[in-house]
Amino acid sequence: MPNNCCHQFIVKKTDLEQKKRKVCKKCGFIDYKNPKVVAGSLVVRNKKFLLCKRAIEPSYGKWTFPSGYLDASETPEEGAIREAKEEVNIKIKLNKLFAIFTVREKNLIQFVFLASHINKNFRPGIETLEARYFDYDEIPWKSLAFPSVAYVIKKYAKPPKKTPIFHTFSKDYGF
């Protein structure tokens, strides 16, 4: 993360692998551009999927499962549990890691866990306009926030033999 001391970046080879990176020519700070990490949960109850209608950009007003960026020093498991609480005020139990995918264009890695809803109630959090459970046939496919949401739900409906699923998206609009 850049500090504000002086940064006048040049691009040069910096490490043993000889990768080109942005380096401050005054202080030597290297801007590594590491991926952002997202964690989320596909919460399923009575064969229905919990989705949240986003109250924030990107993809305001579109549906997704509870997920978001990890906080500093947070594990993917902790982040998925926190995001479910923030977005739909629920307590969840993570059952297993279901999918890990990368979004190349956004330099992003996402962990998706299968989860159970523990408490009885739920309600939209501050980042959510509406939350509800959908049967597979009721899912608003054309109003999903990101291609990764549809991908995960479809894979859950017809699960592969091995999980977690590893997948790469060249784009995932919104993030």
For position 32, what pLDDT does the model report?
A: 83
The confidence score (pLDDT) of residue 172 equals 59
pLDDT tens-digit readout, 42-95: 999 999 999 999 999 999 999 999 999 999 999 999 999 999 999 999 999 999
pLDDT of 166 higher than 50: yes
Say what the pLDDT of residue 7 is.
82
The pTM is what? 0.86
Beta bridge partners of 9: 24
CA distances from 68 to 30, 65, 84, 125 (A): 27, 10, 9, 13
Residue 105 has pLDDT above 90, yes or no: no
What is the reported pLDDT for 31? 86
pLDDT tens-digit series, residues 29-47: 888 888 999 999 999 999 9
So where are the chain's domains? 1-32, 36-169
Number of H helices, E strands in the chain: 2, 11
How far apart (Å, rounded) are the C-alpha atoms in residues 70 and 109?
11
Question: Which fold would CATH assign to domain 36-169?
Answer: Nucleoside Triphosphate Pyrophosphohydrolase (3.90.79)
Q: What SS3 state is found at 54?
A: strand
